[in-house]
Amino acid sequence: MSKSLKTARRGGDVASAVADGAGTGAVSRRADRAAERRAAIVQAAMDEFIARGFAATRLDDIAKRAGVAKGTIYLHFKDKESMFEELIRTAIVPFVGRLAVPPPLGGSVRDMVESLARMFLQEIAGTRRADLVRLIIAEGPRFPAIADFYYREVVSRGLAAMRALIQLAVTRGEIREPKLVQHPQLMIAPMMVAVIWKSLFERHAPLDAEAMLQTHLDLIFGARRPT
Amino acid sequence: MSKSLKTARRGGDVASAVADGAGTGAVSRRADRAAERRAAIVQAAMDEFIARGFAATRLDDIAKRAGVAKGTIYLHFKDKESMFEELIRTAIVPFVGRLAVPPPLGGSVRDMVESLARMFLQEIAGTRRADLVRLIIAEGPRFPAIADFYYREVVSRGLAAMRALIQLAVTRGEIREPKLVQHPQLMIAPMMVAVIWKSLFERHAPLDAEAMLQTHLDLIFGARRPT
DNA sequence: CATTTATGACTGACTAGTCAGTCATTGTAA
DNA sequence: TTACAATGACTGACTAGTCAGTCATAAATG
Protein backbone atom coordinates (compact mmCIF):
# COMPACT_ATOMS: atom_id res chain seq x y z
CA MET A 1 0.00 0.00 0.00
CA SER A 2 0.81 3.63 0.00
CA LYS A 3 3.21 3.79 -2.88
CA SER A 4 1.95 7.09 -3.98
CA LEU A 5 5.02 9.06 -3.03
CA LYS A 6 6.47 10.00 -6.34
CA THR A 7 9.23 12.16 -5.07
CA ALA A 8 11.94 9.53 -5.35
CA ARG A 9 14.68 10.95 -7.53
CA ARG A 10 15.43 8.84 -10.51
CA GLY A 11 18.88 8.42 -12.05
CA GLY A 12 21.69 10.52 -10.79
CA ASP A 13 21.39 14.04 -11.95
CA VAL A 14 20.03 15.93 -9.07
CA ALA A 15 22.01 18.67 -10.68
CA SER A 16 19.39 20.09 -12.98
CA ALA A 17 19.06 22.29 -10.01
CA VAL A 18 16.87 25.29 -9.60
CA ALA A 19 19.30 27.80 -10.96
CA ASP A 20 16.34 30.08 -11.10
CA GLY A 21 18.55 33.04 -11.74
CA ALA A 22 16.33 35.85 -12.79
CA GLY A 23 13.18 35.44 -14.79
CA THR A 24 10.18 33.21 -14.59
CA GLY A 25 11.71 30.63 -12.36
CA ALA A 26 10.25 28.05 -14.70
CA VAL A 27 11.38 24.58 -13.76
CA SER A 28 11.87 22.10 -16.51
CA ARG A 29 12.53 18.73 -15.02
CA ARG A 30 9.25 16.99 -14.49
CA ALA A 31 10.22 15.40 -11.23
CA ASP A 32 11.41 18.72 -9.91
CA ARG A 33 8.16 20.35 -10.70
CA ALA A 34 6.37 17.54 -8.94
CA ALA A 35 8.58 17.90 -5.89
CA GLU A 36 7.94 21.61 -5.93
CA ARG A 37 4.21 21.07 -5.95
CA ARG A 38 4.43 18.55 -3.20
CA ALA A 39 6.30 21.07 -1.13
CA ALA A 40 3.65 23.67 -1.85
CA ILE A 41 0.94 21.27 -0.77
CA VAL A 42 2.78 20.39 2.41
CA GLN A 43 3.25 24.04 3.26
CA ALA A 44 -0.34 24.95 2.52
CA ALA A 45 -1.67 21.96 4.43
CA MET A 46 0.46 22.83 7.42
CA ASP A 47 -0.91 26.36 7.47
CA GLU A 48 -4.49 25.24 7.15
CA PHE A 49 -4.26 22.47 9.72
CA ILE A 50 -2.62 24.79 12.19
CA ALA A 51 -5.24 27.45 11.62
CA ARG A 52 -8.33 25.23 11.72
CA GLY A 53 -7.40 21.85 13.15
CA PHE A 54 -7.80 18.56 11.34
CA ALA A 55 -11.55 18.19 11.05
CA ALA A 56 -12.34 21.76 10.04
CA THR A 57 -9.70 21.95 7.35
CA ARG A 58 -10.98 21.63 3.79
CA LEU A 59 -8.89 19.99 1.13
CA ASP A 60 -10.28 22.50 -1.33
CA ASP A 61 -8.70 25.26 0.70
CA ILE A 62 -5.38 23.48 0.86
CA ALA A 63 -5.47 23.00 -2.90
CA LYS A 64 -6.34 26.61 -3.51
CA ARG A 65 -3.63 27.86 -1.20
CA ALA A 66 -1.09 25.57 -2.82
CA GLY A 67 -2.17 26.72 -6.26
CA VAL A 68 -3.06 23.20 -7.27
CA ALA A 69 -6.13 21.22 -8.20
CA LYS A 70 -7.66 19.04 -5.56
CA GLY A 71 -6.92 15.90 -7.51
CA THR A 72 -3.22 16.70 -7.36
CA ILE A 73 -3.23 16.28 -3.63
CA TYR A 74 -4.28 12.69 -4.10
CA LEU A 75 -1.29 12.07 -6.33
CA HIS A 76 0.89 12.70 -3.34
CA PHE A 77 -1.16 11.52 -0.40
CA LYS A 78 -3.52 8.63 0.17
CA ASP A 79 -6.19 10.61 1.99
CA LYS A 80 -6.71 13.49 4.36
CA GLU A 81 -5.85 11.48 7.42
CA SER A 82 -2.57 10.02 6.23
CA MET A 83 -1.65 13.37 4.79
CA PHE A 84 -2.08 14.87 8.22
CA GLU A 85 -0.03 12.21 9.92
CA GLU A 86 2.73 12.30 7.36
CA LEU A 87 2.80 16.06 7.61
CA ILE A 88 3.34 16.11 11.32
CA ARG A 89 5.99 13.46 11.06
CA THR A 90 7.80 15.40 8.36
CA ALA A 91 7.72 18.55 10.42
CA ILE A 92 9.03 16.85 13.53
CA VAL A 93 11.85 14.80 12.10
CA PRO A 94 14.29 17.65 11.52
CA PHE A 95 14.34 18.30 15.25
CA VAL A 96 14.92 14.78 16.34
CA GLY A 97 18.54 14.85 15.34
CA ARG A 98 19.44 17.69 17.64
CA LEU A 99 18.05 15.92 20.65
CA ALA A 100 21.14 13.83 21.08
CA VAL A 101 22.87 15.82 23.76
CA PRO A 102 26.08 17.30 22.43
CA PRO A 103 29.01 15.68 24.25
CA PRO A 104 29.22 17.22 27.72
CA LEU A 105 31.84 19.69 26.72
CA GLY A 106 33.84 21.95 28.96
CA GLY A 107 31.31 24.51 30.11
CA SER A 108 28.91 24.18 32.99
CA VAL A 109 25.75 22.15 32.67
CA ARG A 110 23.78 25.24 33.37
CA ASP A 111 25.25 26.96 30.34
CA MET A 112 24.43 23.99 28.22
CA VAL A 113 20.86 23.76 29.42
CA GLU A 114 20.52 27.47 28.99
CA SER A 115 21.67 27.42 25.41
CA LEU A 116 19.40 24.47 24.65
CA ALA A 117 16.46 26.26 26.17
CA ARG A 118 17.29 29.47 24.35
CA MET A 119 17.38 27.58 21.10
CA PHE A 120 14.04 26.05 21.91
CA LEU A 121 12.49 29.39 22.71
CA GLN A 122 13.78 30.98 19.54
CA GLU A 123 13.16 28.15 17.13
CA ILE A 124 9.91 26.85 18.54
CA ALA A 125 8.16 29.09 20.99
CA GLY A 126 8.84 32.16 18.91
CA THR A 127 7.68 30.70 15.62
CA ARG A 128 4.80 29.02 13.91
CA ARG A 129 6.20 25.76 15.17
CA ALA A 130 4.69 26.59 18.52
CA ASP A 131 1.33 26.11 16.91
CA LEU A 132 2.50 22.78 15.66
CA VAL A 133 3.08 21.68 19.23
CA ARG A 134 -0.35 22.97 20.10
CA LEU A 135 -1.76 21.04 17.17
CA ILE A 136 -0.21 17.84 18.43
CA ILE A 137 -1.64 18.44 21.88
CA ALA A 138 -5.00 19.14 20.31
CA GLU A 139 -5.22 16.23 17.89
CA GLY A 140 -3.05 13.74 19.70
CA PRO A 141 -5.85 11.85 21.38
CA ARG A 142 -7.67 11.42 18.09
CA PHE A 143 -4.50 10.35 16.27
CA PRO A 144 -2.81 7.89 18.55
CA ALA A 145 -0.29 7.18 15.81
CA ILE A 146 0.84 10.76 16.05
CA ALA A 147 0.91 10.83 19.82
CA ASP A 148 2.93 7.62 19.79
CA PHE A 149 5.36 8.95 17.24
CA TYR A 150 5.74 12.19 19.10
CA TYR A 151 6.34 10.42 22.34
CA ARG A 152 8.90 8.02 20.88
CA GLU A 153 10.80 10.48 18.76
CA VAL A 154 10.64 13.67 20.75
CA VAL A 155 9.38 13.35 24.29
CA SER A 156 11.19 10.23 25.42
CA ARG A 157 14.43 11.23 23.74
CA GLY A 158 14.25 14.76 24.97
CA LEU A 159 13.58 13.66 28.51
CA ALA A 160 16.35 11.07 28.39
CA ALA A 161 18.81 13.68 27.23
CA MET A 162 17.63 16.07 29.89
CA ARG A 163 17.90 13.40 32.54
CA ALA A 164 21.47 12.70 31.55
CA LEU A 165 22.30 16.38 31.85
CA ILE A 166 20.68 16.62 35.24
CA GLN A 167 22.52 13.54 36.40
CA LEU A 168 25.76 15.09 35.32
CA ALA A 169 24.95 18.34 37.08
CA VAL A 170 24.08 16.50 40.27
CA THR A 171 27.34 14.60 40.12
CA ARG A 172 29.27 17.79 39.59
CA GLY A 173 27.45 19.50 42.39
CA GLU A 174 25.80 22.05 40.16
CA ILE A 175 22.39 20.86 41.21
CA ARG A 176 21.65 20.13 44.83
CA GLU A 177 18.34 18.44 44.48
CA PRO A 178 19.04 14.84 43.41
CA LYS A 179 15.35 14.00 43.02
CA LEU A 180 15.31 16.18 39.94
CA VAL A 181 16.82 13.28 38.04
CA GLN A 182 13.51 11.50 38.46
CA HIS A 183 11.55 14.41 37.05
CA PRO A 184 13.24 15.86 34.01
CA GLN A 185 9.82 17.17 33.03
CA LEU A 186 10.35 19.88 35.63
CA MET A 187 13.25 21.23 33.64
CA ILE A 188 11.13 21.47 30.53
CA ALA A 189 7.83 22.55 32.01
CA PRO A 190 8.41 26.30 31.62
CA MET A 191 9.15 25.80 27.93
CA MET A 192 5.85 24.06 27.46
CA VAL A 193 4.07 26.82 29.28
CA ALA A 194 5.81 29.36 27.09
CA VAL A 195 4.65 27.60 23.95
CA ILE A 196 1.06 27.39 25.09
CA TRP A 197 1.09 30.92 26.39
CA LYS A 198 2.33 32.31 23.10
CA SER A 199 -0.43 30.51 21.25
CA LEU A 200 -3.27 31.49 23.51
CA PHE A 201 -2.56 34.47 25.69
CA GLU A 202 0.18 36.49 24.08
CA ARG A 203 -2.21 39.24 23.11
CA HIS A 204 -3.64 39.46 26.61
CA ALA A 205 -0.31 39.58 28.36
CA PRO A 206 2.99 39.19 26.57
CA LEU A 207 5.32 36.71 28.22
CA ASP A 208 9.01 37.39 28.61
CA ALA A 209 10.07 33.82 28.17
CA GLU A 210 13.77 34.56 28.38
CA ALA A 211 13.45 36.24 31.75
CA MET A 212 11.26 33.45 33.01
CA LEU A 213 13.85 30.97 31.86
CA GLN A 214 16.56 32.75 33.85
CA THR A 215 14.50 32.67 36.98
CA HIS A 216 13.76 29.02 36.40
CA LEU A 217 17.43 28.18 36.01
CA ASP A 218 18.26 30.18 39.10
CA LEU A 219 15.80 28.07 41.03
CA ILE A 220 17.34 24.85 39.83
CA PHE A 221 21.03 25.71 39.76
CA GLY A 222 20.96 28.33 42.45
CA ALA A 223 21.09 32.05 41.74
CA ARG A 224 24.28 33.20 40.11
CA ARG A 225 26.33 35.03 42.66
CA PRO A 226 26.49 38.71 41.76
CA THR A 227 30.21 38.22 40.98
CA MET B 1 -29.71 38.40 21.17
CA SER B 2 -29.22 34.91 22.39
CA LYS B 3 -32.01 34.66 24.86
CA SER B 4 -32.37 30.97 24.42
CA LEU B 5 -31.16 30.05 27.85
CA LYS B 6 -34.15 28.61 29.54
CA THR B 7 -32.48 27.47 32.65
CA ALA B 8 -33.39 30.45 34.72
CA ARG B 9 -35.11 29.07 37.72
CA ARG B 10 -38.54 30.45 38.14
CA GLY B 11 -40.25 30.76 41.49
CA GLY B 12 -38.43 29.51 44.49
CA ASP B 13 -38.83 25.80 45.05
CA VAL B 14 -35.67 24.21 43.87
CA ALA B 15 -36.63 21.63 46.40
CA SER B 16 -38.75 19.27 44.35
CA ALA B 17 -35.43 17.54 44.14
CA VAL B 18 -34.61 14.31 42.46
CA ALA B 19 -35.65 11.97 45.17
CA ASP B 20 -35.54 9.30 42.56
CA GLY B 21 -35.69 6.63 45.18
CA ALA B 22 -36.42 3.37 43.41
CA GLY B 23 -38.48 3.08 40.32
CA THR B 24 -38.77 5.04 37.13
CA GLY B 25 -37.31 8.19 38.48
CA ALA B 26 -40.14 9.97 36.77
CA VAL B 27 -40.02 13.67 37.47
CA SER B 28 -43.20 15.65 37.44
CA ARG B 29 -42.43 19.30 37.65
CA ARG B 30 -42.02 20.65 34.15
CA ALA B 31 -39.18 22.99 34.87
CA ASP B 32 -37.35 20.23 36.65
CA ARG B 33 -37.70 17.90 33.78
CA ALA B 34 -36.42 20.60 31.47
CA ALA B 35 -33.47 21.27 33.73
CA GLU B 36 -32.78 17.58 33.86
CA ARG B 37 -32.71 17.32 30.12
CA ARG B 38 -30.53 20.33 29.82
CA ALA B 39 -28.10 18.78 32.24
CA ALA B 40 -28.11 15.57 30.24
CA ILE B 41 -27.40 17.51 27.08
CA VAL B 42 -24.60 19.43 28.71
CA GLN B 43 -23.06 16.25 30.01
CA ALA B 44 -23.33 14.46 26.71
CA ALA B 45 -22.02 17.43 24.77
CA MET B 46 -19.07 17.69 27.11
CA ASP B 47 -18.20 14.07 26.54
CA GLU B 48 -18.47 14.32 22.80
CA PHE B 49 -16.58 17.57 22.48
CA ILE B 50 -13.79 16.25 24.64
CA ALA B 51 -13.60 13.05 22.67
CA ARG B 52 -13.76 14.54 19.18
CA GLY B 53 -13.15 18.28 19.34
CA PHE B 54 -15.58 20.91 18.20
CA ALA B 55 -15.69 20.41 14.45
CA ALA B 56 -15.85 16.63 14.45
CA THR B 57 -18.62 16.38 17.01
CA ARG B 58 -22.09 15.61 15.66
CA LEU B 59 -25.18 17.00 17.25
CA ASP B 60 -26.94 13.76 16.43
CA ASP B 61 -24.47 11.96 18.64
CA ILE B 62 -24.93 14.41 21.45
CA ALA B 63 -28.69 14.00 21.20
CA LYS B 64 -28.47 10.24 21.17
CA ARG B 65 -26.11 10.16 24.12
CA ALA B 66 -28.34 12.54 26.05
CA GLY B 67 -31.40 10.43 25.26
CA VAL B 68 -33.08 13.34 23.55
CA ALA B 69 -34.16 14.32 20.06
CA LYS B 70 -31.96 16.66 18.14
CA GLY B 71 -34.59 19.35 18.06
CA THR B 72 -34.58 19.42 21.84
CA ILE B 73 -31.04 20.67 21.84
CA TYR B 74 -32.21 23.74 19.99
CA LEU B 75 -34.74 24.46 22.72
CA HIS B 76 -31.81 25.01 25.03
CA PHE B 77 -29.05 26.37 22.81
CA LYS B 78 -28.96 28.72 19.89
CA ASP B 79 -26.56 26.72 17.79
CA LYS B 80 -23.58 24.42 17.98
CA GLU B 81 -21.08 27.19 18.45
CA SER B 82 -22.79 29.01 21.27
CA MET B 83 -23.54 25.68 22.90
CA PHE B 84 -19.84 24.94 22.88
CA GLU B 85 -18.90 28.29 24.32
CA GLU B 86 -21.56 28.20 26.97
CA LEU B 87 -20.53 24.70 27.86
CA ILE B 88 -16.96 25.61 28.49
CA ARG B 89 -18.01 28.60 30.51
CA THR B 90 -20.36 26.53 32.60
CA ALA B 91 -17.68 23.98 33.27
CA ILE B 92 -15.12 26.56 34.27
CA VAL B 93 -17.16 28.76 36.54
CA PRO B 94 -17.34 26.41 39.52
CA PHE B 95 -13.58 26.63 39.81
CA VAL B 96 -13.31 30.35 39.62
CA GLY B 97 -14.63 30.79 43.11
CA ARG B 98 -11.87 28.81 44.71
CA LEU B 99 -9.21 30.90 43.08
CA ALA B 100 -9.56 33.68 45.57
CA VAL B 101 -6.72 32.79 47.85
CA PRO B 102 -8.01 31.70 51.22
CA PRO B 103 -6.88 34.29 53.75
CA PRO B 104 -3.19 33.71 54.48
CA LEU B 105 -3.85 31.64 57.52
CA GLY B 106 -1.38 30.41 60.06
CA GLY B 107 0.50 27.68 58.23
CA SER B 108 3.45 28.10 55.95
CA VAL B 109 3.01 29.30 52.39
CA ARG B 110 4.50 26.09 51.19
CA ASP B 111 1.79 24.10 52.89
CA MET B 112 -0.82 26.28 51.32
CA VAL B 113 0.62 25.99 47.86
CA GLU B 114 1.02 22.31 48.34
CA SER B 115 -2.58 21.80 49.28
CA LEU B 116 -3.75 23.95 46.39
CA ALA B 117 -1.60 21.98 43.99
CA ARG B 118 -2.79 18.70 45.44
CA MET B 119 -6.35 19.78 44.96
CA PHE B 120 -5.59 20.71 41.41
CA LEU B 121 -3.97 17.39 40.70
CA GLN B 122 -6.82 15.45 42.18
CA GLU B 123 -9.70 17.44 40.83
CA ILE B 124 -8.31 18.34 37.44
CA ALA B 125 -5.29 16.38 36.36
CA GLY B 126 -6.74 13.14 37.63
CA THR B 127 -10.14 13.56 36.02
CA ARG B 128 -11.89 14.20 32.77
CA ARG B 129 -11.47 17.87 33.49
CA ALA B 130 -7.90 17.51 32.34
CA ASP B 131 -9.27 16.89 28.89
CA LEU B 132 -11.29 20.03 29.24
CA VAL B 133 -8.12 22.00 29.70
CA ARG B 134 -6.69 20.26 26.68
CA LEU B 135 -9.83 21.13 24.77
CA ILE B 136 -9.41 24.79 25.60
CA ILE B 137 -5.81 24.70 24.47
CA ALA B 138 -6.91 22.97 21.30
CA GLU B 139 -9.86 25.13 20.34
CA GLY B 140 -8.82 28.37 21.98
CA PRO B 141 -7.34 29.96 18.90
CA ARG B 142 -10.50 29.26 16.92
CA PHE B 143 -12.76 30.51 19.69
CA PRO B 144 -11.20 33.73 20.87
CA ALA B 145 -14.21 34.33 23.06
CA ILE B 146 -13.31 31.20 24.98
CA ALA B 147 -9.63 31.99 25.19
CA ASP B 148 -10.52 35.46 26.45
CA PHE B 149 -12.93 34.13 29.00
CA TYR B 150 -10.47 31.53 30.18
CA TYR B 151 -7.73 34.08 30.48
CA ARG B 152 -9.87 36.55 32.38
CA GLU B 153 -11.60 34.15 34.70
CA VAL B 154 -8.96 31.53 35.33
CA VAL B 155 -5.49 32.37 34.17
CA SER B 156 -5.20 35.96 35.27
CA ARG B 157 -6.92 35.32 38.57
CA GLY B 158 -4.95 32.19 39.22
CA LEU B 159 -1.69 33.90 38.48
CA ALA B 160 -2.59 36.93 40.58
CA ALA B 161 -3.40 34.69 43.51
CA MET B 162 -0.21 32.76 43.02
CA ARG B 163 1.78 35.96 42.77
CA ALA B 164 0.35 37.14 46.07
CA LEU B 165 1.33 33.88 47.69
CA ILE B 166 4.83 34.07 46.32
CA GLN B 167 5.14 37.66 47.49
CA LEU B 168 4.11 36.61 50.94
CA ALA B 169 6.58 33.75 50.94
CA VAL B 170 9.39 36.02 49.82
CA THR B 171 8.54 38.48 52.57
CA ARG B 172 8.50 35.73 55.13
CA GLY B 173 11.78 34.36 53.86
CA GLU B 174 10.28 31.07 52.74
CA ILE B 175 11.37 31.73 49.18
CA ARG B 176 14.83 33.07 48.46
CA GLU B 177 14.42 33.93 44.83
CA PRO B 178 12.55 37.25 44.66
CA LYS B 179 12.33 37.19 40.86
CA LEU B 180 9.80 34.41 41.19
CA VAL B 181 7.22 37.08 41.94
CA GLN B 182 7.54 38.17 38.34
CA HIS B 183 6.95 34.68 37.01
CA PRO B 184 4.14 32.98 38.86
CA GLN B 185 3.77 30.79 35.77
CA LEU B 186 6.81 28.88 37.01
CA MET B 187 4.88 27.78 40.05
CA ILE B 188 2.11 26.41 37.91
CA ALA B 189 4.06 25.00 35.00
CA PRO B 190 4.41 21.48 36.39
CA MET B 191 0.66 21.29 36.84
CA MET B 192 0.13 22.15 33.21
CA VAL B 193 2.63 19.56 32.18
CA ALA B 194 0.89 17.01 34.35
CA VAL B 195 -2.44 17.75 32.70
CA ILE B 196 -1.06 17.43 29.21
CA TRP B 197 0.93 14.37 30.08
CA LYS B 198 -2.10 12.57 31.46
CA SER B 199 -4.02 13.28 28.31
CA LEU B 200 -1.38 12.27 25.83
CA PHE B 201 1.30 10.06 27.29
CA GLU B 202 -0.08 8.36 30.35
CA ARG B 203 -0.24 5.02 28.60
CA HIS B 204 3.33 5.32 27.39
CA ALA B 205 4.79 6.29 30.71
CA PRO B 206 2.66 6.94 33.79
CA LEU B 207 3.54 10.14 35.56
CA ASP B 208 3.75 10.36 39.33
CA ALA B 209 2.48 13.90 39.54
CA GLU B 210 2.51 14.01 43.32
CA ALA B 211 6.16 13.08 43.52
CA MET B 212 7.00 15.57 40.82
CA LEU B 213 5.14 18.22 42.74
CA GLN B 214 7.19 17.53 45.86
CA THR B 215 10.44 17.88 43.97
CA HIS B 216 9.15 21.06 42.40
CA LEU B 217 8.28 22.54 45.77
CA ASP B 218 11.63 21.51 47.17
CA LEU B 219 13.29 23.43 44.37
CA ILE B 220 11.31 26.55 45.10
CA PHE B 221 11.09 26.50 48.88
CA GLY B 222 14.27 24.60 49.52
CA ALA B 223 14.33 20.92 50.46
CA ARG B 224 12.68 20.17 53.74
CA ARG B 225 15.33 19.48 56.30
CA PRO B 226 15.23 15.82 57.29
CA THR B 227 14.07 16.91 60.75
C1' DC C 1 -58.99 22.17 25.60
C1' DA C 2 -55.15 25.45 25.13
C1' DT C 3 -50.51 25.83 25.66
C1' DT C 4 -46.02 24.43 26.22
C1' DT C 5 -42.48 21.08 25.19
C1' DA C 6 -40.52 17.41 22.48
C1' DT C 7 -39.79 14.84 18.32
C1' DG C 8 -37.35 13.23 14.20
C1' DA C 9 -37.96 13.31 9.23
C1' DC C 10 -36.47 16.53 6.12
C1' DT C 11 -33.71 20.04 3.61
C1' DG C 12 -29.99 22.34 1.72
C1' DA C 13 -25.30 23.39 2.00
C1' DC C 14 -21.04 21.47 2.10
C1' DT C 15 -17.00 18.22 1.34
C1' DA C 16 -13.88 13.93 0.84
C1' DG C 17 -12.56 11.41 -2.65
C1' DT C 18 -12.85 9.86 -7.90
C1' DC C 19 -11.79 9.56 -12.69
C1' DA C 20 -12.08 10.51 -17.66
C1' DG C 21 -9.79 13.64 -20.21
C1' DT C 22 -5.95 17.22 -21.27
C1' DC C 23 -1.48 18.56 -22.46
C1' DA C 24 3.43 19.61 -21.40
C1' DT C 25 7.36 16.92 -21.25
C1' DT C 26 10.25 13.17 -22.59
C1' DG C 27 11.70 9.55 -25.60
C1' DT C 28 12.35 7.71 -30.28
C1' DA C 29 12.71 7.34 -35.23
C1' DA C 30 13.52 9.31 -39.60
C1' DT D 1 17.23 18.40 -36.36
C1' DT D 2 12.32 17.53 -36.85
C1' DA D 3 8.09 14.90 -36.49
C1' DC D 4 5.62 11.84 -34.08
C1' DA D 5 4.37 8.80 -30.09
C1' DA D 6 4.23 7.64 -25.27
C1' DT D 7 3.98 9.11 -20.70
C1' DG D 8 2.03 10.56 -16.55
C1' DA D 9 1.32 14.86 -13.93
C1' DC D 10 -2.49 17.60 -13.56
C1' DT D 11 -7.21 19.09 -13.75
C1' DG D 12 -11.96 20.00 -12.03
C1' DA D 13 -16.63 18.47 -12.63
C1' DC D 14 -18.93 14.93 -10.43
C1' DT D 15 -20.68 11.43 -6.88
C1' DA D 16 -21.99 9.83 -2.70
C1' DG D 17 -22.37 10.92 1.71
C1' DT D 18 -22.59 13.92 5.93
C1' DC D 19 -24.52 17.07 9.12
C1' DA D 20 -26.35 21.67 11.13
C1' DG D 21 -30.49 23.51 11.57
C1' DT D 22 -35.86 23.59 10.62
C1' DC D 23 -40.60 22.75 11.27
C1' DA D 24 -44.97 20.19 10.96
C1' DT D 25 -46.68 17.03 14.04
C1' DA D 26 -47.31 14.68 18.41
C1' DA D 27 -47.10 14.25 23.40
C1' DA D 28 -47.46 16.11 27.89
C1' DT D 29 -49.21 19.28 31.07
C1' DG D 30 -52.35 22.13 33.84
The Å distance, CA of B77 to C1' of C1, is 30
In chain A, which residue's Cα lies nearest the Cα of B142?
A52
Cβ–Cβ of A179/B218 closer than 8 Å? yes
- Min Cα distance B190 → chain A (Å) is 6
Please tell me whether any atom of strand D lies within 7 Å of the Cβ of B210: no
Are A44 and A35 spatial neighbours (Cβ–Cβ below 8 Å)?
no
Q: Is A75 on the interface with B (CB under 8 A)?
A: no
Tens digits of per-residue pLDDT, A80-103? 999 999 999 999 888 777 776 666
pLDDT at A95: 78
CB of A209 within 8 Å of a chain B CB? The answer is: no
- pLDDT: which is higher, B65 or B1: B65
Q: Check if residue A37 sits with its Cβ under 7 angstroms from strand D.
A: yes
SS (H, E, C) B156-168: HHHHHHHHHHHHH
Q: Which among A220, A217, A218, A226 is positioned nearest to A114, based on CA atoms? A: A217
B5 touches chain A (CB under 8 A): no
**Per-residue b or e along A97-117, where b marks 16 or more CB atoms closer than 10 Å to that residue's CB:** eebebeeeeeeebbebbbebb
Are B141 and A197 spatial neighbours (Cβ–Cβ below 8 Å)?
Answer: no
Contacts of A151 in chain B (CB under 8 A): 200-201, 204-205
Percentage of the residues of chain B whose pLDDT score is greater than 70: 82
Name the nt closest to B33 by C-alpha to C1': C5
pLDDT in tens, A128-151: 889 999 999 999 999 999 999 999
Q: A23-34 b/e with 16+ CB inside 10 Å = b?
A: eeeebebebeeb
Closest approach of B1 to chain A, Cα-based (Å): 27
B76 touches strand D (CB under 7 A): no
Q: Tell me the pLDDT tens digit for each residue of B12-31.
A: 233 333 333 333 344 456 67
Closest to B143 (Cα-Cα) out of A11, A103, A56, A226: A56
Domains and CATH numbers, chain A: 1-78 (1.10.10.60), 91-221 (1.10.357)
CB A113 within 8 A of CB A165: yes
B104 pLDDT tier (thresholds 50, 70, 90) = low
